[in-house]
Structure formats: C-alpha cells, structure tokens
Amino acid sequence: MTVSIGEIYEEVQPSDVAPEGGQIHGPRAGWKLALSSFVENRLAVAGAGIVVFFILFSFVGPLIYHTNQNSTNPINAFLPPSGAHLLGTDSNGFDELGRMMKGGQAALEIGFFASLIATVIGTLVGAVAGLLGGVVDAFLMRIVDVMLSIPLLFVILIVGDRYNGATVFSLSIIIGIFSWLVSARLVRGEVLSLRVRDFVFASRTMGASRRHLIYKHLIPNALGVVIVNITFQVADTINLLAILGFLGYGLNYPQVSWGDMLSNALNYLSDGYWWVVYPVGVCLVLVVMAFNFIGDALRDTVDVRLRRR
Amino acid sequence: MEPVLEINDLSTHIQLSRSVVQAVGNISMSIAPGETLGLVGESGCGKSMTGLSIMRLLPNGGKVVGGSIKLSGVELTKLSDADIRDVRGNEVAMIFQDSLTSLNPTMNIGRQIAEQVRKHRHVSRAEALERAAEALSIVGFPNSKERLDNFPHQLSGGQRQRVMIAIALSCDPKLLIADEPTTALDVTIQAQILGLLDDLKQRLGMAVLLVTHDMGVVAGRADRVNVMYAGRIVESAPTTELFTHMHHPYTQALLGSIPLLTQNRSERLFSIPGIPPDLTDPPPGCRFAPRCSRATDQCRTEEPALEPATNDHHFACWHPVDGPIVRTTIAVNGTAPAPAGAGEAEHSDAAPGAPETVAARNGSAAEPAFGARGWQSGEGDDRLLVVDDVVREYPVTSGVILQRKVASVKAVSGVSFTVGRGETFGLVGESGCGKTTLGKVIVGLEKADKGQVALRGTNVTGLRDRQLRRFRKDLQMMFQDPIASLDPRMRVGAILREPMKIQGIGTKRQQDKVIADLLGEVGLPANAVERFPHEFSGGQRQRIGLARALTLNPQVIVADEPVSALDVSIRSQVLNLMKRLQETHGITYIVISHDLAVVKFLADRIGVMYLGKLVEMGTGEDIYLRPVHHYTAGLIATVPEPDPMREKSKSEVGIKGELPSPVTPPSGCRFRTRCPAAQQICAEEEPPFRPFHPGHVAACHFPLQQPIDGGDPLAAQAGTAPTIAGS
Ligand SMILES: Nc1ncnc2c1ncn2[C@@H]1O[C@H](COP(=O)(O)OP(=O)(O)OP(=O)(O)O)[C@@H](O)[C@H]1O
Ligand code: SF4
Ligand code: SF4
Ligand SMILES: [Mg+2]
C-alpha cells in the first residue's frame, strides 16, 4: 500500500522535523517487489527450478554420466534399465539417459537461439512500426498479418525438406525467422502506448532528442513485455522442435532431439519398451510447462507493477 | 414512515493475499422513501464498498462480516444468492461512474433495457420494449422509440449515463444507489443528470443513496449527508446543518480545504496534513487522530462512537468543533474584493470551537497578496508570453494504408492572449474544448497549424529542433496524472536529473545539489531520490512532478489539470505549494482546468474556452461576478458549490444540450446551439471581442452587460494583446 500516516504539513510541524510532503512508506524498490511477487508464485519457482535442473542435466550431466553416443551398437538394443544403463538403451543401443541429455542440449539451445532471433527481429520491427507510425507502420503490420496467416509448420517442413535435414544452427535460424511476428505485434502495441504517455511528453518538453526517448524511456519500459515474451517463445520453440522431430524432420544424425527420440520410440511402445518413451515424454512436458509457468509469473509481475503505478 | 433502507453496524472486509482491508467498519444509516442521502468522503474511505455491500456485488475477497442491511424490513444479508439477484435491479438499482464499461457494447440499448425488465417481470418481449421506450423518454430522450436501436458507442457520455438511469429505473426500484454518477461528466452535463435524478426521485418517490466525493454535489442534491472517513461514518446531519454547524473536525477541515468561487484568493487554503490511514492497519482510537489538530491522548487510544448531538445530527469525536472555518470571501454583490483578513466572513457564525483560522495561521494580513501584480502591466517584460491566433486541427483519416484526410477536428481555432511575467493565466472550459491541446502547443509538444507562440518576443513555434530545444527549458509542463507522468522505471533522483542531463547543465555534484534543494522545496524527504514513483502517494507524486518542472528554472509552467487527480485534502496542499513556489521562483503559470474554483483560486486572469475558442477573458472577479458571455454565465450557474443555500437557490439546468462535434463546429458563434439568447446574426457572424471593463473582454453579439462605449479591445487590454483573430 502506498499509504503513509506520517505526511505532516509544515504549518503543523516545522519543516525541519518532517518534510511537508510526508515520509515515504510505500513498498520498496521495483525489482524487489517484482522478485517477491515472483517468488510468491509457487509454480514460477517450480518452473525456474525445473529449467535450472534441465540446464544442469543436459550440459553438466554428460560430464558425470559418461555414455557412448557416437556409435550404434545393435547388440545392446533395448536393454532394460540397469546399473550400467540407468534408463536402459534404445533401438540403436544408445544409452537412453545419455541420449536424453543430448536431446535436452538441442532443445534448450534451439529454444534460446530461435527465441533470441525472433525477439530481436520482432522488437526491431515492432519498435520501428510503433515509432514511425503512418504508412511504415501500416505496411509492416500488413506483412505481419500475411505471414501470420501462413502456417509456420508448412514453411519449416518445406524449407527443411529442401535443405535435407538440419543442424541446431540452421533450425534455430529457420524457426527464429518465422516466429518474430507475435513479438513484433506486442512491441508495437507497447511502443504505441508508451509514446503518448505523459512521461514521454514531459521528457520532450525538456528538449529530449528522439534517441534519448528511445534509450531512456521506450526500451526500459518495453523490456518487460519483451522478456515475458521470450519465455513463452522458448516454450513454443521447444514444442515446435518436438513436433518437427516427430514428423521426421528433426536434427541430422548424430544430433538428436527429443522429438526424434519420441517418433523413433513410438514404434516400439507395444513391445513393452516403456523406458524409451515415457522418460523423454515427461522431460518434454516438464520443460515446456516450466517455461510457461515462468512466463505467466513474469507477466503477472509486470502487471503488478503496472497496477502499482 | 418506515425507512426504505436500514443499515446497522455493517462491516465489510476485503481479503488480500497478505492482509485484510477493513473497508467498511461498523456503519449505520437509514434512508426514508423519497429521501436523498449523500455519502461523501475522500477516495478509499469505503463509500463504494458500502453501496456494493448492499447489492452484494463486492470485489473478489470482499465479504460482509457483520451487521445487518434491511430493505423495507427484509434482511438482505441473510438472503440466498438467487434471492438477492431478484432484489438487485428490481428493488434496488445501481448506477456507476463509468457508463461505457457498464453497458454492453454489442447490444442495442433497447434490448439492454428490455432484458432488465424481463429479468424481473413476466412480460412479453414487445411489452418489455414498450417499457424500455417509456423509460428512455422519462430520462429525457426525445423520440425514444427510434433510440432503442442505438448502440452505446453512438451515444455521448451524458446520454449513456441517461441510459444507465433508464435501466436502473425500468423496474421501479425502491432504492437507487448512484455511485459517483456524474464524476466522469462535464459540469454542464453533470447539472443535467443531477437535475434529472432529482426530478425522477420526486416523481417516482424512491429513495436515493448518492455516493460522491464532491461536496458541491451533495450540497445541492442531498437531504441528509453522511461523511465517511477511513471506513467509518464520522458525522451525519441534515445537509444545511452539516455545512453550517458541523461538529467533527474532519468535516470542518474537508470543507475548509475546498477552494470556493467566493474565496479571497490572496488567502491560503486550509489544508489537512498527511493522508488517510491504510485500512489494512487502521490506527487505534480515532482514525482521524494522526491528522487532527485537536487530537489528544484519549483520541489516540479510545475510539469515539457516533453519538447524537441532536435528534438527527450525529458525530463521532471527543473534542467536537462547532461550525466551519472562517474564510474571507469576496463580496458577492459588490465589485471590489474584500481586503484580506478584514472582509466579511460568509459564515460569520464561526464558532469558538473552530481551530485557528487560516488567516491566523498564516498571518496573511502581513503577507502580500498572492499575484498582487495582477493583469495590469506595462510593456516589455510583462509581455512574457504572447499566444497569437493559434490554430490546431487534427486530421481525421480513413483508409488503412493510404490514409486520406477526410475531415479535421478543430481543437483550437484562433486563440490569442498575453501573459506577463509572474502572472497566472487560467484557462477553463469543458472537456474537448481544446484546453489541453492549447497547453501542448504552448510548450511545443504540438505544432500550431497557424499562429504563433512567442516567448520574450521570439516565435517559439517557428523554431527548428535544435533552437527549440534550448527554448524548451523555459517552457515546462505539469501533468494531470501524477502516475503517468513519471517514468515507472526511473528513480526519483534520475527523474529530477533528466532535465539537467538533457540540457547539459551542471556537473553531477551541482545537479545533486539542485535535486536536494528542489526536494526540500516541494516538501519531500531527501531519501526520495532512491525511490521509484510507485512508492509515493498521489500528492507526493504531484510534488515530484512540480519539482521536475522547476528543475530547469523555467519562466513559464503550463499546469494541465494539476490537481484533478488528487483528493480534496491533498489538493489544497498542492495548490498552496504551487502558489508558494510561484512567489519564490517568479514563475509564470498557465493553469488549465475544468474546475472554475481551482482556476479562480490560482489565476490572476482567466480565459473561458468553448469549442476551440476563447469566449471571455478577465480577472476572476470579472468572470465570476460580472460574466458577460452566456456560456460563462451558464457555466457559473452549473458549477456545484459546497454551500447548500446557494446551491438550492440555483435555477434548474444551467446550459441545455450537449457540446457539438468539434469536427463540424456551428457557424458564427460556436455557442449558439445551446445559447438561450441566440438570434439569427449569431449563426451568420462570428461575434468580435469587445471590452466590458478594463481588461475584461468577451465575444458575444448580445452580451449580458453593456460594452464600454466605442471601446477598442486592444486598448482595453492595456496594449498587451496581439491582434485578436476573427474580430
Ligand atoms: N477490489 C479491491 N480489492 C482490494 N481492496 C479494495 C478493492 N476495492 C476497494 N478496496 C479497498 O477498500 C477500501 C474502500 O474502498 P472504496 O472503493 O469503497 O472507497 P471509495 O470511498 O468508494 O473511494 P473512491 O472515491 O476512490 O471511489 C479502500 O481501502 C480500497 O483500497
Ligand atoms: S476524536 Fe480527537 S482525533 Fe478524532 S476527530 Fe475528534 S478531536 Fe480529532
Ligand atoms: S453571440 Fe449569440 S449565440 Fe453566441 S453567446 Fe452571444 S447571444 Fe449567444
Ligand atoms: Mg468509489
């Protein structure tokens, strides 16, 4: 509550005792408020925990849990979980747990890279459209409309087919280039509303240049929306990656994604090789869910600050 | 007679995630049939929650935790949810402040009213529509049958509020709860709606609970008034009694801090120190104690109960006062303002129990009158700012990619005036009359399509970016919304440093010193620099806004509705501060407001705007005591004053009709569509400015007073006016 009782007017008490406008008793600094509201959200904390766990699992895990992920070994195919292979082996005799770590690396890397690309393009386009307005804005937004009406999956399938398989790098770029639309719209909306806010006008009456307005007011204030959007974008990308893998357009051997693993494994589900299906499936669901939780909580945090303003 | 509504010891709490807001605490009240009970108080005091408790429409977490609400003897708190739905809209109806969000935008208004009828009455669709048309004609829609097909967005704010009233009345409720029914409307429309409510109440014999923060509104409309503070009713009395013989120090202080039209403006406003308590943790004892000048230890520990003083006058206070604060006022019938401190007090029966009068506090007899320089001024420096024939039109475009200009909104159409150094010029007018646009043109936030704004003889509107930037430091602005005008991601230190940084003034150390000095001047603690805007209260934020406007030591500050967003008790603090800073810094203010009393309190001279044009200009006394233009006169008649005697003696609706569209303003005199004296020539010829007193000019063909013979408007302005457009 931004309420204080100590606001004492100078005519009642001399001004050297208490300032006339009163002491400040409001909630503390913005990021602390934001952090506390984030931490209060159990799901968000769980989500953050899951993400940290999977980052460690995928990148640090292989250093501890050494497995051979380079050469197939049909003799070892479909070994059930044991001391040597904690989650058994798959149809090629790869250690399932080690493979999941490798798949996790791909998922997280592509998730982050693609979102980064999408966000950078989206923020730029959105900011330019929002700032310049007029014909430029109308033109850019029509492009966005048109592109939004093309199913992203088709495009990626066609492009993927043409280039015959993909690497982490190429998939990141392809997904990134085609998923900046939503962030462009978001940022544009934000910039449009920020641009006519009184604090921007105030800055202009001081003689601020356009540059100053962009760097000091527009970007810091639009950042919240952008960051929230990144988390959702990561979740979407990981999902998309899984779908691609599942459809057989995943990463090229020897790289592997969870989607590849799933599509492969589903053939053997009826044979009782549960360990090649469920653990991967659970990982995928957990990670996507975790990013969504974080995104939701961040959005609430940004909103709380909006409400407090 | 049995009361329609009887509330006993009602308490309502709202559960938040970590605390409980004690929004309404142990209140009791009753309303008789045909009676209007006013419920007044500052924002957050629990007025709305009281109304919502009756309707059982509390926000999430809200719950009536004790007491009873009886409607014609039926206990509402015990009813099931289904039963209360039957009562809602049928026996008790409610209208809200925001008519746009209360109406369904996708349904025409005929259906919306008819649905309400069919919810509670077993009638056919056709009958319900019949009833809807009837209700619409009752609330003042001519040819109401055709109006049934209108959608909410096709109606103006005032018309939408009429529709809300029609919906509320469609089932003949016994009780109407009106929560700030006119706060979002212009004064002229407000007067129409309040008049309508009064009239309907009498015709239909229902009881009305009028919830408002505006003392002027209750003064004219309520039979009895309950004053709420921090969730409690602190005083309850018949209206006239409350305004003239209040016993609670809060009531007294609240009324004392409202600027009056009759106010002697050289006097400071009374102001209540501090802000209302946090209702999640109200102080023990009397809730007003932290801000009360009469508080004793008893007040701080024991809570006073609402006790009767006389049969129908109750108050809750250990050390009651008797009657209002004495203020010096201008003599309403004469022409000369009464001298400060010596003038006849309007409420001369000021009581011994009153706290020291404002005059005594400030020693105002010894202080020079604020703005004593007045409008009369010689040459040179006194023409600090010249606004000459400024025109600003916003294009209305259509088409998605090729945006063709199809029409234009005539926001400002040829406005001219001059302001001298250290003077305060006020601009009043209804919303949409172009006040804010004009303010933005003056500080260079908007380009003028025609005309110029000259500061110290330099045409600012003609300047290119870089030169303009240098001039901008002399033209600063103070904004209406103290929250929106401060960047939420910047600390107060950075906010105050920003102007100096942009202008490249001073070293970091020098800037720090300026910031520290400014904070002291506007009455904020030094540790404010590390805080973010959301950590401050509304009044504190407005102080920051004022400090920022002062950072560059500007010559002119344009204050756009500087106190509209603030509560009454905080408002007077900021108004006093603005005046004090003007004296110490020699600033020239241009104060823009829809509130005539605020403008009159601050300004040496006032310009009245109507639909993009100035229609009258003169001193506050000229405007208030001797208005010449029919619009000014109508405006003054509609402004609700916190004085029941004056309010109740006012004639009916002051100005008829609604503001015409600024896209196609009326020809000739723009006010002619609503003017009682309009004649043929008003439509054909635009009236020229003519002088009526020295410095008092107005543009009307049939003015309310005789102009000075053969007067030349330019001469009348003591040679300070530039050519006046359209004359
Ligand atoms: N939805 C809500 N959630 C939590 N607290 C609320 C909510 N609405 C109101 N309150 C709190 O309840 C108290 C009473 O609020 P209420 O709206 O009744 O005040 P009011 O007198 O109508 O003020 P205003 O003049 O601003 O309309 C305040 O402390 C307010 O902060
Ligand atoms: S009880 Fe005491 S603190 Fe409360 S209003 Fe009365 S005098 Fe002031
Ligand atoms: S000029 Fe005519 S219409 Fe305008 S205010 Fe005067 S009398 Fe009324
Ligand atoms: Mg309210």
How do residues B566-593 score in pLDDT, each as one tens digit? 888 888 888 988 998 898 888 999 999 9
Minimal CA separation from A304 to chain B, in Å: 11
Which segment of B325-339, B433-447, B588-602 scores lowest on mean pLDDT? B325-339
The closest ligand to the CA of B321 turns out to be 2
Ligand 1 neighbour B21 (Cβ under 6 A): yes
Measured distance CA(B634)–CA(B655) in Å, rounded: 6
Interchain proximity A138–B400, CB inside 8 Å: yes
User: What element of type H or E holds B475?
Assistant: strand B475-478
Q: Do B526 and B520 touch, CB atoms closer than 8 A?
A: yes
Could A1 and B278 be called an inter-chain contact, meaning their C-beta atoms sit closer than 8 Å?
Answer: yes
User: Is pLDDT above 90 for A100?
Assistant: no
Quick one: pLDDT at residue B346? 36
AA letter at B62: G
Cα B648 to averaged position of ligand 3 atoms, centre (Å): 27
CA-nearest residue for atom 3, ligand 2, is B289
> Is residue A16 predicted with pLDDT exceeding 60?
no
Does any domain span residue B647?
yes
CATH of the domain at B381: 3.40.50.300
Which pLDDT score, from 0 to 100, does residue B238 have?
Answer: 95
Cβ(A179)–Cβ(A236) under 8 Å?
yes
How far A3 CA sits from the closest chain B CA (Å)? 6
- Conformational region of residue B689, where left means phi above 0, alpha means psi within -120 to 50, and beta covers everything else: beta
Asked if the C-beta of B499 comes within 8 angstroms of chain A's C-beta atoms, the answer is yes
Q: Are residues A11 and B273, on separate chains, in Cβ contact within 8 Å? A: yes
- Spatial neighbors of A140 by CB under 8 A, at least 6 apart, are A125, A128, A129, A184
**SS3 category, B385:** strand
**pLDDT tens-digit readout, B511-559:** 999 999 889 888 888 888 888 888 787 888 888 998 999 898 899 999 9
Ligand 1: atom nearest CA of B213 is 25
**Could you tell me the pLDDT band of residue B27, with boundaries at 50, 70 and 90?**
very high
**Reported confidence tier of residue B250, pLDDT bands at 50, 70, 90:** very high
CB-nearest to A198 from B481, B498, B530 is B481
In this complex, is the C-beta atom of A76 within 8 Å of any C-beta atom belonging to chain B? no
Q: Is residue B443 part of a domain?
A: yes
Maximum average pLDDT range among A13-22, A128-137, B680-689 = B680-689
Indicate the range of A174-178, B147-151, B497-501 predicted with least confidence. Answer: A174-178
* pLDDT at site B287: 92
User: Which amino acid type is present at position B77?
Assistant: T
Q: Is B317 in the pocket of ligand 2 (CB under 6 A)?
A: yes
What is the residue-averaged pLDDT of chain B?
A: 83
Residue B8 lies in a domain: no
> What confidence score (pLDDT) does residue B701 get?
92
Give distance in angstroms: CA of B290 to centre of ligand 2.
Answer: 9
Predicted pLDDT of residue B226? 95
Least CB–CB distance from B502: residue in A4, A12, A206 = A206
d(CA B388, CA B451): 6
User: Which tens digit of pLDDT belongs to each residue from B118-151?
Assistant: 888 888 888 889 889 888 888 878 777 888 888 8
Asked whether residue B195 is assigned to any structural domain, the reply reads no
The pLDDT of B397-422, averaged and rounded, is 80
Q: Higher pLDDT residue, B613 or A175?
A: B613
Count Cα atoms within 13 angstroms, Cβ side, for B162.
Answer: 28
Pairing mode, if any, of strands B62-71 and B74-75?
antiparallel
Indicate whether A224 pLDDT > 70.
Answer: yes
Whether the pLDDT of residue A2 is over 50: the answer is: no
H/E element, B386: strand B385-398
Q: Which CATH architecture has domain A41-60+89-308?
A: Orthogonal Bundle (1.10)
- The reply to whether B520 touches chain A by the CB within 8 Å rule is yes
- Does residue B254 line the site of ligand 2, with CB under 6 A? no
- pLDDT recorded at residue B334: 39
Do B350 and B326 contact (CB within 8 A), yes or no? yes
Specify the pLDDT at position B399: 62
CA atoms of B344 and B342, how far apart (whole Å)? 7
Judge if pTM exceeds 0.90.
no
Residues 180-199 of A with CB under 8 A from B: 197-199
What average pLDDT does this structure show over B150-160? 83
Residue A162 has pLDDT above 80, yes or no: no
Which range (B262-271, B418-427, B687-696) has the least confidence? Answer: B262-271
Is the pLDDT at B606 greater than 90? The verdict is: yes
Confidence of residue B331 (pLDDT cuts 50, 70, 90): low
Residue with tokens 């009780």: B175
Average pLDDT over residues B661-688: 90
Of the pLDDT bands very low, low, confident and very high (cuts 50, 70, 90), residue B717 is very low
pLDDT confidence of residue B372: 34
Residue after which a domain boundary falls, among B138, B167, B196 = B167
Give residue B562's identity as a one-letter amino acid code: P
Q: Tell me the β-bridge partners of B237.
A: B225
Per the document, the length of chain B is: 727
pLDDT for residue A32: 66
Distance, in Å, from the CA atom of A186 to the CA atom of B476, rounded to the nearest integer, reads: 32
Task: Specify the ligand 3 atom closest to the Cα of B687.
Answer: 1
A140 CA to chain B: closest CA distance, Å? 10
| pLDDT at res. B714 | 44
Q: Tell whether B41 is covered by a domain.
A: no
How confident is the model at residue B330, as a pLDDT?
67
Residue B293 touches chain A, beta carbons under 8 Å? yes
Least Cα distance to B6 among B30, B34, B32 occurs for B30
B603 vs B591: CA distance, rounded Å = 7
Arithmetic mean of pLDDT, B293-313: 90
pLDDT tens sequence across B103-119: 888 888 899 899 888 88
* Cβ of B299 less than 6 Å from ligand 2: yes
Q: Is residue B713 part of a domain?
A: yes
Residues B713 and A183: their CA atoms lie apart, in Å, by 59
User: Average pLDDT for residues A128-154, to the nearest whole number?
Assistant: 83
Q: Is B16 in the pocket of ligand 1 (CB under 6 A)?
A: yes
The total of structural domains in chain B comes to 2
pLDDT of residue B229: 93
pLDDT value of position B713: 46
Per cent of chain A over pLDDT 70 is 83
Instruction: Check residue A34 and give its pLDDT.
Output: 67
Judge whether B245 lies within some domain.
Answer: no
Sign of the Cα pseudo-torsion (B496, B501, B504, B510, in order): positive
Confidence of residue A28 (pLDDT cuts 50, 70, 90): low
What is the pLDDT at residue A7? 35
Cα B568 to ligand 4 centroid, rounded to whole Å = 14
The whole domain housing B691 covers 364-478+554-718
- Which residue ranges have their beta carbon within 6 Å of ligand 3? B 629-630, 669, 671-672, 675, 677-678, 682, 687, 700-702
pLDDT single digits (tens) A49-72: 888 988 888 888 878 877 777 777
Q: What percent of chain B has pLDDT over 70?
A: 88
Tell me what pLDDT residue B358 has.
36
- The beta-carbon neighbor of A21 closest among B272, B402, B539 is B539
> How large is the average pLDDT for residues B268-286?
85
Q: Which residue in A1, A199, A203, A225 has the most chain B C-beta atoms within 10 A of its own C-beta, making it the best mutation to test that interface?
A: A199
How high is the pLDDT of residue A9?
33
- Torsional class of B330: left (φ above 0), alpha (ψ -120 to 50), beta (otherwise): beta
* pLDDT single digits (tens) B70-114: 998 899 999 998 888 888 888 899 988 877 778 888 888 899 899
The span from the CA of B113 to the CA of B221, in Å, is: 26
* Domain presence at residue B212: no
Report the residue from A5, A21, A139 with minimal CB separation from B523: A21
B499 with A20: Cβ contact below 8 A:
no
Q: Identify from A20, A33, A36, A205 which residue to disrupt to test chain B contact, counting B C-beta atoms within 10 A and taking the largest count.
A: A205
pLDDT of residue B32: 92
Hey, what are B19's tokens? 């605390």
ipTM higher than threshold 0.85: no
Report the chain B residue with the minimal C-alpha distance to residue A25: B535
Residues A43-54 have pLDDT tens digits of 888 888 888 988
Is residue A104 helix, strand or coil? Answer: helix
Instruction: State the pLDDT at residue B378.
Output: 39
User: Tens digits of per-residue pLDDT, B423-467?
Assistant: 999 999 888 888 888 999 998 888 888 898 988 888 888 777 777
**A180 pLDDT exceeds 80?**
yes
